[in-house]
Amino acid sequence: MIEPWTVLAILAMAVVTYLTRIGGYVVLRNRTLSPRATAVMEAAPGCVLISVIAPDFVSKNPADLAALAITLLAATRLSMLPTVVIGVASAGVLRWVMG
């Protein structure tokens, strides 16, 4: 049920996240960030998220690439749940159709 390494990783996440939450309050409340530092901080979450899913963009499976294109289109106009449903359904159907 509980693996030591898993718990350690979870605790590491929890500590790091809490430090980011109090860090701005503790360190930055009496000063302002430079515009450059602000630009970097604002870009950071998006850079990480897109990097994590980058392998999907160079998949060797044409069905998955086509499904990703459909999902990308869905994500630009729909909310969470329909986008996930469309993404999963298109991947499932296209894999079946395209082998």
Q: Which parts of 77-96 interact with another protein (CB under 8 A)?
A: 78-81, 83-84, 86-95
Q: What is the 3-state secondary structure (H, E, C) of 21-41?
A: HHHHHHHHCCCCCCHHHHHHH
The CA–CA distances, whole Å, from 58 to 39, 44, 45, 51, 99 equal 28, 22, 21, 12, 18
Shortest approach of another protein to residue 35 CB, angstroms? 6
Binding another protein by CB under 8 A: which of 71, 97, 98, 99? Answer: 71
Q: Which parts of 40-59 interact with another protein (CB under 8 A)?
A: 40-58
Q: Which parts of 8-47 interact with another protein (CB under 8 A)?
A: 8-14, 16-18, 20-29, 33, 35-36, 38-47
* Cα separation, 20 vs 25, whole angstroms: 9
